[in-house]
Amino acid sequence: MDRIRLVGGNELNGRIPISGAKNAALPLMIASLLTDDTLTLENVPHLADVEQLIRILGNHGVDYSVNGRREKQQEGYSRTINFTARNIVDTTAPYELVSKMRASFWVVGPLVARMGEAKVSLPGGCAIGTRPVDLFLEGLAALGAKIEVENGYVLAKAKNRLKGNRYVFPKVSVGATHVLMMAATLARGETVLENAAREPEVVNLADCLNAMGAKITGAGTSTIHIDGVEMLSGARQKVIPDRIETGTYAMAVAMAGGDVLLENARPDLLQGALDIIAETGAEIVPTNSGIRVKRNGHGIQPVDITTEPFPGFPTDLQAQFMGLMTMAKGKSRITETIFENRFMHVQELARLGAKISLSGQTATVEGVDTLKGAPVMATDLRASVSLVIAGLAAEGETIVNRVYHLDRGFERLEEKLSGCGAVIERLSS
């Protein structure tokens, strides 16, 4: 099993290209199930989760081809991928595939919308909370699907197409918004989704669906209107830059010091988080080619945060921010409101010398002057990179185990950081 070795103490200087967003690419890929034409996606990151979803879509009969790779371009750069679901050969998504990645459950919406039926295993994925699928099923039922759950599988049927309806999400859910928006594109009549997620990834998906012939308005607000159409066609869509990767590297610079241009980054995708990072003492400057991040000479300032749906501070940046706060000049409080079990990185940060106490869903971090390298264990995708951020400033050597979590969501992390001066390498087992 691969590990990451890093030695802290070096500033980061240079350029880091921001990849396409994993959280945008996955629903865009799943949207290919809605049409028998080819959907071409640009800027698709090379990640373990993307490769797993390609396998899952292939199980349903989706063909894919990769193009746009330059001569001698190494594996791992963002790609253009063509997805063609001309013939859906199987409407079942089996446990052995779905259990490896939670987002693969989202195929339930397009399959029942286009084929009138779907049999999808209840999902697995990260151990960061129960993350139930009740909202997905309630929403599909509101659109006329008959839903049954048996033997660990969801059975969804809509023999005479889904029917447009009004559905109010009891709580904001990005995944459920993706699924119901996709399903409603082929429903008869109008669908109104209220209290919908406003994340940029939802807007990216809506733009793609509209390019395919859907009639969606309001994406990016809490109320989305969808007028169902008979069929969708192929289209070409670019995956937006990864705002979580952008925030992660911005905090890495704030932690290690230096001056880095985050190429292709879009500040509008995470302005709330950038404002918080600026409060810690980093200089954040938008440019024509991305975002420049530079740490000032006054150390890291403590800042309190609470995770919230967009446009608030993202839960997917909470662990990284905690890593940054471990060396702040004072106490900070981090409150997690999205997932109930997303503080597993606390004990691993403590191994590096961090002082963190927990009370319910709030972590109090007392900044220390020095972190010291140690062996640590990645517990989930975002927690793993928080250990890298801490390790960049720790004295001596840090070894991060279970880096397959990192490979799920960060493209070429070691290459990007080492290109800016970090001492970091992958150790293959």
pLDDT value for 70:
44
- Enumerate the known binding-site residues for UDP-N-acetyl-alpha-D-glucosamine: 102, 131-135, 171-174, 316, 338
| Domain co-membership, 316 together with 393 | yes
Q: Is the pLDDT of residue 76 over 70?
A: no
pLDDT of residue 296: 81
Residue 383's pLDDT is 80
Residue 316 backbone phi and psi in degrees, to 5: -75, -5
Q: In 10 A of CB 176, how many CB atoms?
A: 26
Task: Please check the confidence at residue 381 and state whether its pLDDT lies above 80.
Answer: no
The pLDDT of residue 57 is above 50? yes
Q: What is the pLDDT of residues 109-140, one digit of tens each?
A: 999 999 999 999 988 544 434 447 899 999 99
pLDDT at 405: 84
pLDDT greater than 90 at residue 235: yes
Distance CA 135, CA 154 (A): 13
- Total domains in the chain come to 2
Boundary-marking domain end, from 187, 203, 233: 233
Query: The tokens 């400033």 sit on which residue?
Result: 393
- DSSP characters over 351-420: HTT-EEEEETTEEEEE--S--B--EEE--SHHHHHHHHHHHHHSBSEEEEE-THHHHHH-TTHHHHHHTT
Instruction: Look at the chain and count its residues.
Output: 429
Same domain, 145 and 172: yes
State whether 155 and 278 are in the same domain.
no
Q: Are residues 75 and 209 in the same domain?
A: yes
Instruction: Note whether 397 and 307 are same-domain residues.
Output: yes
| Per-residue pLDDT, 404 | 87
| Residues identified as active-site | 126
Between 81-95, 333-347, 395-409, the lowest mean confidence (pLDDT) is in 333-347
Report the side by side order of strands in the sheet with 190-194: 166-168, 190-194, 223-227, 215-217
| Residue 429 confidence class, pLDDT cut points 50, 70, 90 | confident
Query: Which of 307, 301, 299 lies closest to 277 in space, CA to CA?
Result: 301
Domain that holds residue 300: 3-18+241-427
Token pair of 320 as six digits: 């990284």
Residues 193-229 pLDDT 10s: 999 999 999 999 999 999 999 999 999 999 999 999 9
Same domain (yes/no): 246, 160: no
Mean pLDDT of 6-22: 97
Q: Identify the pLDDT of residue 124.
A: 55
Q: Catalogue the long-range contacts made by 124-127 (C-beta closer than 8 Å, 24 or more residues apart).
A: 124/98, 124/99, 124/100, 125/100, 125/101, 126/102, 126/380, 126/381, 127/341, 127/344, 127/379, 127/380
Tell if the pTM clears 0.85, that is, is over it: yes
Phi, psi of 354 (to 5 degrees): -70, 150
Last-in-domain residue among 182, 212, 233: 233
Could you tell me the pLDDT band of residue 69, with boundaries at 50, 70 and 90? low
Annotated binding-site residues for phosphoenolpyruvate read 22-23
CA distances to 248, 257, 296 from 16, in Å: 11, 15, 19
- Residues at the binding site are 22-23, 102, 131-135, 171-174, 316, 338
Confidence class of residue 68 from pLDDT cuts 50, 70 and 90? low
What's the mean per-residue pLDDT of the chain?
Answer: 93
Whether residues 328 and 421 share a domain: the answer is: yes
- Asked which of 210, 233, 256 is the last residue of a domain, the reply is 233
* Residue 20, token pair as written in the block: 């396409």
Among 233-237, 244-248, 275-279, 344-348, the least confident range: 344-348
Q: Which distant-in-sequence residues (6+ apart) come within 8 Å of 71 by Cβ?
A: none
- In this structure, the dihedral spanned by the alpha carbons of residues 298, 299, 300 and 301, taken in order and rounded to 10 degrees, is -40
Say whether both 112 and 157 belong to one domain.
Answer: yes
Listed in sequence order, the residues at least 6 apart from 52 whose beta carbon sits closer than 8 Å to its beta carbon are: 97, 100, 101, 104
Helix (H) or strand (E) holding 347: helix 345-351
Residues 71 and 159 both lie in one domain: yes
Whether 114 and 30 map to the same domain: the answer is yes
Mean pLDDT within 132-159: 94
CATH at 45: 3.65.10.10
Return the percentage of the chain with pLDDT > 70, whole number: 95
Q: Tell me the pLDDT tens digit for each residue of 287-330.
A: 999 999 998 878 999 999 999 999 999 999 999 999 999 999 99
Q: How far apart are CA 57 and CA 52, in angstroms?
A: 9
pLDDT band at residue 71 under the 50/70/90 scheme: very low
Query: What pLDDT does residue 336 have?
Result: 95
Distance CA 208, CA 182 (A): 10
Residue 75 pLDDT > 70, yes or no? no
